[in-house]
Amino acid sequence: MITLKEVKKHPDVKVYIKKANDFLGVIGYTEHGERHGNYVAKNARRILHDLGHDANTCELAAIAGYIHDIGNVVSRYSHPANSAYLATQFLKELGMPVEDRVIVMSAVGNHDEGACDIVSPVSAALVIADKSDVHRSRVRSVKEIKFDIHDRVNYAVTKSKLHINIPKKKMITLKLAIDKEISDMVEYFEIFTARMVACRRAAKLLGCTFNVEVNGSP
């Protein structure tokens, strides 16, 4: 079984993640580097673990979560497909079986909320973990929150936690604390509705429901 630890050590992966994040910073996007990759990897693995999936499937979700944005080194607008293409090269070098590679590739290639097909448990876990990462720590410059809605909404989120209540209710809940003095709920849903819909579709494939709770209210 190829592990996330091994993937992180691959020299190409380190460069892809750093440069992808640097390039996105130039064109004004929020943080998409190590912090984001580790967040998505951790939560994608946790979702499948709590649902009782085997260790290899959980590890594939973590790997997909960590590398899903590397395609931004090529282009932001085609980054899911680019990420999948780049991933298969170093995953093959690491000796990952083709059966596992295609699971990672399909998950990575389908993680964008604008045109994603939820095709497997790994794919579903990646989408939920990725789209739930909204927090002020992703904002590169506080100066931009007055001008950019994505920075403003992310900066308004002071706490963010993905709560997984699997045994009893089969429910996954994104719990947010939002400072409404910075951004109101209208702005949040203006840019995140498509992402929340994708999460709902992903949760359905996993046999769960997906909910959003803001400042203690559903």
CATH T-level topology, domain 4-214: Hypothetical protein af1432 (1.10.3210)
> 180 pLDDT exceeds 80?
yes
Which residue do the tokens 């932001």 mark? 76
pTM over 0.85: yes
Q: Can you give the residue ranges of every domain in the chain? A: 4-214
Cα dihedral 66, 69, 74, 80 sign: positive
CA distance 217 to 94: 46
> 215 pLDDT exceeds 90?
yes
Distance of CA 96 to the CA centre of its chain: 22
pLDDT 10s digits, 127-139: 999 999 999 999 9
Which residues have C-beta within 8 Å of that of residue 19, sequence separation ≥ 6? 73
**Per-residue pLDDT averaged across 31-42, rounded?**
97
pLDDT 10s digits, 151-173: 999 999 999 999 988 767 789 99
CA distance 100 to 11: 21
